[in-house]
């Protein structure tokens, strides 16, 4: 009988959401330990999760506090169709129910490359939709982020308005 109780207790522990602790102040971070690290603010590779206050103090980032509220909302809740160049009703209806991260992962050109049916959103449209998401800091290490690492901010301003 002891094994059944132990197994049930173990299963209950797995179901509970446990907040990651800040590796500096040991306070709770806003994230469950099961949440992917690439969708978090304040996670430092090799160091771990920080609470948002410690992250801001250490790195001096003025991260977008609204990001945490917006990141789980749908594109329709955050944007309007007119915010995206080259997006008509059909494409808007296909993506408006997604969160910014879901859009980024679902329609990435590499993710849709081997589909048998034609892509609804091509490479150019994908990047033009992703740009406002990136500028609002609602992306997760997107291609615009990679370009920021390689090029100066001035050149990105010109690229963003193609």
CA atoms within 13 A on the CB side of 74: 11
pLDDT at 26: 92
Helix (H, G, I), strand (E, B), or coil: what is residue 130? Answer: helix
* CA-to-CA dists, residue 24 to 42, 64, 120, 158, angstroms: 11, 21, 45, 39
Q: How many residues does the chain have?
A: 162
Closest by alpha carbon to 138, among 35, 32, 40, 19? 40
Higher pLDDT, 4 or 54: 54
Report angle CA 49, 77, 19 to the nearest 5 degrees: 20
Comparing 46 with 67, the larger pLDDT belongs to 46
pLDDT per position as a tens digit, 33-43: 888 888 788 88
pLDDT tens digits for range 72-106: 788 998 899 888 877 889 899 989 999 888 888 88
Q: N- to C-terminal Cα distance for the chain?
A: 68
Closest CA to 101 of 55, 70, 64: 70
What pLDDT score was predicted for residue 140?
A: 80
pLDDT for position 162: 46
């Amino acid at each position: 009988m002891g094994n059944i109780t132990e197994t049930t207790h173990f299963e209950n522990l797995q179901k509970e959401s446990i907040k990651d602790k800040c590796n500096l102040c040991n306070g709770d971070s806003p994230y469950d330990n099961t949440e992917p690290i690439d969708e978090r603010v304040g996670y430092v590779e090799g160091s771990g999760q920080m609470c948002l206050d410690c992250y801001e103090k250490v790195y001096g980032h003025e991260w977008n506090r609204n990001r945490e509220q917006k990141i789980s909302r749908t594109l329709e809740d955050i944007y309007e169709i007119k915010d995206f160049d080259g997006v008509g009703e059909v494409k808007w209806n296909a993506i408006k129910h997604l969160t910014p991260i879901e859009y980024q992962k679902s329609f990435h050109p590499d993710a849709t490359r081997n589909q048998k049916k034609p892509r609804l959103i091509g490479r150019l449209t994908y990047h033009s939709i992703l740009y406002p998401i990136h500028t609002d800091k609602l992306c997760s290490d997107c291609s615009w982020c990679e370009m920021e690492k390689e090029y100066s901010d001035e050149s990105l301003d010109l690229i963003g308005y193609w």
